Amino acid sequence: MRDFKKYFKLEASPSDLYNALTNPVMIEIWTGETAVMSTEPGSEFSLWDGEIAGRNIEFVPNEKIVQSWFFGEDSDSIVTIKLHPDKQGTNVEVHQTNIPDEAYENIAEGWESDYIGGLKELFD
């Protein structure tokens, strides 16, 4: 199992990014895929038409999102997204733990191109 941690700079406010990460209509706009999302801890979510699914653990509006991503019956991965305000926008801290070794490269690339890439396209 491996961990992924990286910081990304986005030209959007923490509140706009939080909305884009938690509002299912906004998620569908920047992913182009069906999304199920709620800010209710314990609720299940689905992104990219089910490619990513899991359970929401914690929300601190405009600051933090914690989720458990499902990788199968034996392993869940904890994802923490923290939004740090910056003069030109927001520094997004992504930390994902317990990634199966065989999925690591795909997950790391997905954060760069799909997740953060989609948000950059939305706000640029």
Task: Give the start-to-end residue ranges of the domains of the chain.
Answer: 2-123
**Residue 118 phi, psi dihedral angles, 5° rounding:** -65, -40
Which residue type does 76 have? Answer: D
Q: What is the mean pLDDT of residues 115-119?
A: 95
**Distance between CA 21 and CA 68 in Å, rounded?**
15
Nearest-10 crossing angle of helices 14-22, 24-31 = 90
Radius of gyration of the chain (CA): 13
For residue 124, give both structure tokens: 């640029």
> What would the pLDDT profile of 55-91 be if each residue is shown by its tens digit?
999 999 999 999 999 976 667 899 999 999 999 999 9
Looking at the DSSP bridge assignments, the partners of residue 78 are 68
Fold of 2-123: Alpha-D-Glucose-1,6-Bisphosphate; Chain A, domain 4 (3.30.530)
What average pLDDT is seen over the chain?
94
